Amino acid sequence: MALSGIFPVTIAQAQFEQTYTAINGDDKSFPGWKLGDVCIDNLGGQWIFVKAGELLTQYSLCVVLNSSLEDGTYVANMVEAADIATGPKILGVNQVAIASGSYGWLHRGPGGRYGSGLKIRAENATKGALLHPLSGTAGAVDDANVDEGVIAGLQTLVTTTTLTAVEYIATTILTCNLTEVD
């Protein structure tokens, strides 16, 4: 399912389900914005434009590396438990696969609802439960606390048992909360 009823407002030409191989004019489909630009959608959600530091599997929870914030490169990788354990980060969920070195959008929240098409990879996650990075599976989430902190504002809209992409809701901008436990 593609995004349903979610469209850009502040950057009209933004395409949240599009990726780009270059942003220097070599990819003629690129309409031209900068790394780190934020677009607000019609539901009030934020999307951030990033460069993939590795292959970002579709519907993965991703983190923009602190070092890349400092140098302005906005490199995103799929979240692992250790990424959350080191403190607050810019988090987001990619709605399409983004090849390593390519560019695309991460949904940072808030937003999502039944039928919106916003999805995240989850396993053994209970509908409405606090979510954590899935130990051993980069970019996926579950509701088992392994001392890595909860992802504040993120919950699935269905219960999962096997690793699958499910719709989610973000009640706030996604971040990690190191003091929250189940």
SS3 assignment, position 44: coil
**Residue 165: which pLDDT band, with cuts at 50, 70 and 90?**
very high
Q: Can you give the pLDDT at residue 182? A: 45
Q: Token match 């519907």: residue?
A: 59
Residue 68 sits in which domain range? 1-182
The mean pLDDT of the chain is: 89
Domains contained in the chain, number: 1
The residue among 2 and 157 whose pLDDT is bigger is: 157
Which tens digit of pLDDT belongs to each residue from 14-46? 999 999 999 987 877 788 889 999 999 998 999
Q: Which pLDDT belongs to residue 74? A: 96
Burial degree of 74 (CB within 10 A; 0-12, 13-18, 19+): buried
CB 148 within 8 A of CB 132: yes
